[in-house]
Amino acid sequence: MNKCNPVPAGAGGVLRDSDGNIKMAFSVSLGHGTNNFAELLGLLHGIQLVQEQGIVDFDVELDSWLVVHWIKEKNCKTWYLEDFWEKVMEVLQGLNVQISHIFQEGNKAVDYLVRMGAEGRNETLWSVQELPLLLRGILRLDKNGLPSIRM
């Protein structure tokens, strides 16, 4: 049992085109909550941002196996997340989205953005030039298929 849950929670995500080029990145502060709360709200925030751009066909990688399982099974059994769950399912209905699990180690850029959100930083970044230098480096390594070191 994690004695630190709930903690200051953040969410983040990166939108890339089919060539791996960055189109948008976001971080959002979620207040205090559990990891499942943060994963579900991060997903909701991300798919809403993508939907606002008029994109209806995209892939999502989440490092929460549980949330991916909930979506594939179309069933969330955590009562305090049901309102958020219903909103996620409502937004997903109008989209062609493939959702898959990725280990946290394979998602360094999002991990960086989540920490920004947990620190209270609400940002939507629309160009590579707006990204913090370290995040740019992480994304370049990732695009080129090179490993990065967790800091």
CATH number at residue 31: 3.30.420.10
**1 domain residue, yes or no:** no
Distance separating alpha carbons of residues 31 and 10, to the nearest angstrom:
7
- Residue 2's pLDDT is what? 44
14 exposed, middle or buried (CB, 10 Å; 0-12, 13-18, 19+)? buried
Evaluate if residue 55 carries a pLDDT over 80. yes
Task: Tell me the residue type at 104.
Answer: Q
* Whole-number percent of the chain with pLDDT over 70: 90
pTM of the predicted model, to two decimals? 0.86
- Residue 63's pLDDT is what? 87
Higher per-residue pLDDT: 63 or 4 = 63
- Residue 80's pLDDT is what? 92
Cβ neighbours around 141 below 10 Å, total: 15
Evaluate if residue 146 carries a pLDDT over 70. no
58-112 pLDDT, tens digit each: 999 898 999 999 999 999 989 999 999 999 999 999 899 999 998 766 678 889 9
Distance separating alpha carbons of residues 68 and 64, to the nearest angstrom:
6
Q: What is the DSSP string of 72-84?
A: HHT----GGGHHH
Task: Write out the two tokens for 83.
Answer: 């309102």
**54 domain residue, yes or no:** yes
The total number of structural domains in the chain stands at 1
Domain residues for the domain of 59 are 7-143
**128 domain residue, yes or no:** yes
What stretches of 34-118 adopt beta strand conformation (E)?
57-62, 96-101
Over the range 102-129, which residues count as b (16 or more CB within 10 Å of their CB) and which as e?
eeeeebbbbbbbbebbbeeeebebeeee
**151 domain residue, yes or no:** no
Higher per-residue pLDDT: 1 or 148 = 148
**114 domain residue, yes or no:** yes
Q: Which of 84, 48, 82, 41 is nearest to 64 (CA)?
A: 41
